[in-house]
Amino acid sequence: MERILVIGCSGQIGSELTLALRKVHGNENVFATDIKQPPKDILESGPFNTLDVMDYNNLLHFAVRFKITQVYNLAAVLSGNAEKIPQQAWEINMRALMNTLELARDSDVKKLFWPSSIAVFGPTTPRYNTPQLTVMEPNTVYGISKLAGERWGEYYQKRYDVDFRSLRYPGLISYKTEAGGGTTDYAVEIYYEAIRNNRYNCFLREDTALPMMFMDDAIKATIQLMEADAGKLSLRSSYNVGGMSFTPKEVAAAIRKHQPDFEITYEPDFRQAIADSWPASIDDSVARKDWGLSDAFNLESMTSLMLNEIRTKLSNKK
């Protein structure tokens, strides 16, 4: 029986992954932690503790006390926010990872999941159908920290036999918890604004194509990777995950199929340069071959679901 620690359970990924893990492993075996208060369903369905991943002694104490065997470390400062506080973002993103890698050496933790990102690629990377192995010269603090993190993860796997597993998530789209501070966040905000005001002012240009994935597909892929036989994993850095690829203009068109008078305007800010340095689409054939990555949602199916869920959520709040 696994005993799982989720670090960052209150964030965009954590708030959904924690519940999915509780379904697989049993509510009482999934220990949700964060420095922020989690959503009600996490508090009510199983254990929650305030825990700061930056504090190694507390982290080790926690893992030993609750006999933790697996860690999902989701703590990070995202791309846009990291550019505002470069040194701090580097410190947080790297320290959080190093503490959990060390934890895996010092405790009964055997397996560690840590998210990487399409941000590991940079302006010199082939932009379309970006291969798993290619030129990687990220020029954002977030991207540099993710690339360094991948290298450390692989290093700990080879040198210390830590079962490190990772996905290079594309932009993640969900209705439960908003991300905050990322470059791909426009693709979540646009749905909220469509419901609230029937219009959206986008911080990226209309033709900016980026890889994106609906959260349900991302959660499924994460659990699938963590459950895959170690022997099937040809990579111990991080797997490309492609999802779908679209531009703001295309999302607006998809929304107009439901709300014909939806309006969009464009006012690119500093995040445009970040988006321009990232791939437009991703080749994830290695993940498909190694452990069976697959995804169910496309722009149309995701758009209907996002609009419906957000409409219900916002009307329940009134």
Nearer to ligand SER, 109 or 212 (CB): 212
From 114, 169, 203, 246, residue interacting with ligand SER (rule: CB under 6 A):
169
Q: Which amino acid is at 117?
A: S
User: Does residue 78 interact with ligand SER by CB under 6 A?
Assistant: yes
Site for ligand SER in 199-258 (CB under 6 A): none
From 117, 222, 245, 277, residue interacting with ligand SER (rule: CB under 6 A):
117
Q: Which amino acid is at 297?
A: F
User: Does residue 166 interact with ligand SER by CB under 6 A?
Assistant: no
Site for ligand SER in 135-164 (CB under 6 A): 142
Nearer to ligand SER, 184 or 240 (CB): 184
Query: What DSSP assignment string belongs to 243-279?
Result: -EEE-HHHHHHHHHTTSTT-EEEE---THHHHHHTS-
Within 10 A of 250 (CB to CB), how many other CB atoms are there? 16
Piece of 30-38, 91-99, 181-189, 252-260 that binds ligand SER (CB under 6 A): 181-189
Nearer to ligand SER, 184 or 245 (CB): 184
Nearer to ligand SER, 79 or 99 (CB): 79
From 8, 122, 138, 182, residue interacting with ligand SER (rule: CB under 6 A):
182
Q: Which of 100, 39, 44 is nearest to 75 (CA)?
A: 100
Pairing of strands 210-214, 244-246: antiparallel
Where do the DSSP E strands lie in the chain?
4-7, 30-34, 48-50, 70-73, 111-113, 116-117, 163-165, 167-169, 171-173, 199-202, 210-214, 239-240, 244-246, 263-266
Q: Determine the Cα–Cα distance for residues 233 and 87; give it in Å rounded to an integer.
A: 34
CA 99 to chain centre: 19
CB of 176 closer than 8 Å to CB of 132: no
Q: Which of 59, 61, 157, 67 is nearest to 99 (CA)?
A: 59
CA 188 to chain centre: 13
From 149, 171, 211, 279, residue interacting with ligand SER (rule: CB under 6 A):
171
**CB of residue 183 to ligand SER, shortest distance in Å:** 4
**CB of residue 8 to ligand SER, shortest distance in Å:** 14
Residue nearest to ligand SER (CB): 182
Question: Tokens in use for 29?
Answer: 């075996």
**CB of residue 81 to ligand SER, shortest distance in Å:** 8
160: annotated active-site residue: no
Nearer to ligand SER, 212 or 252 (CB): 212
Q: Which residues bind ligand SER (CB under 6 A)?
A: 78-79, 117, 119, 142, 169, 171, 182-184
Active centre residues (catalytic): 142
